[in-house]
Amino acid sequence: MDYDKIKQAVKMFLEGIGEDVNREGLLETPDRVARMCEEIYGGMGKTAEEHLSKQFTVDNNDVVLVKDIMFYSTCEHHLLPFFGKAHIAYIPDGKVVGLSKLARTVEVYARRPQIQEQLTSQIANALEEYLAPKGVMVMLEAEHMCMSMRGIKKPGSQTVTYAARGCFAGDHDKQRMFMDMVRS
């Protein structure tokens, strides 16, 4: 990441909205924002391959579900946060990954300018590509600050997105089973 560029941009942005960049409270802000970017955009240019490559063999292929994975991302249209919960289910094909790796996978794709629809499908695609299960289902529920703070100002409203791959795709019984598990 180009720290100097970020610092310069933050300074110009503050000037643009009419701030005095030399007042005490703002002196360190460009530097602070640049350092923060390292974390909140830390998924830039990365894939979940490293997290999903450590796999364990299983002799039954019962469904694995991890629900309520908290995530924080940034809307690429407004550069404001959207955040909520991810729920991931997959039906293994002889291999599973550590449960925390699913949360890591969400993190990699959330930490970049994003839209929720794309985040949902990138998570599903990563599992399909790097773990190759029989099927994957991903559901994201999130609140978008660009809808809560501005525009239509509907705080608390949730945007829900789904992605189904492999044996979940087009199988409404399996999708319903996923929903029941998420809701229970």
135 secondary structure, DSSP code: E
Q: Which member of 38, 77, 117, 129 is catalytic?
A: 77
- Of 49, 50, 76, 117, the catalytic one is 76
**Residue 78 touches Zn ion, criterion: CB under 5 A:** yes
- Is residue 167 annotated as a catalytic residue, yes or no? no
Taking the least distance from each CB to Zn ion, the nearer of 40 and 146 is: 146
**81: exposed, middle or buried (C-beta count within 10 Å: 0-12, 13-18, 19+)?**
middle
75, 87, 107, 114: the catalytic one is: 75
Q: Is 172 a catalytic residue?
A: no
Residues 20-49 that bind Zn ion (CB under 5 A): none
- What φ, ψ does residue 120 adopt, rounded to 5°? -60, -45
End-to-end alpha-carbon separation of the chain, Å? 42
Residue 115 is a binding residue for Zn ion (CB under 5 A): no
Q: Could you tell me the sign of the dihedral formed by the alpha carbons of 95, 98, 100, 105, in that order? A: negative
User: Known catalytic residue: 77?
Assistant: yes
- Return residues touching Zn ion (CB under 5 A): 75, 77-78, 146
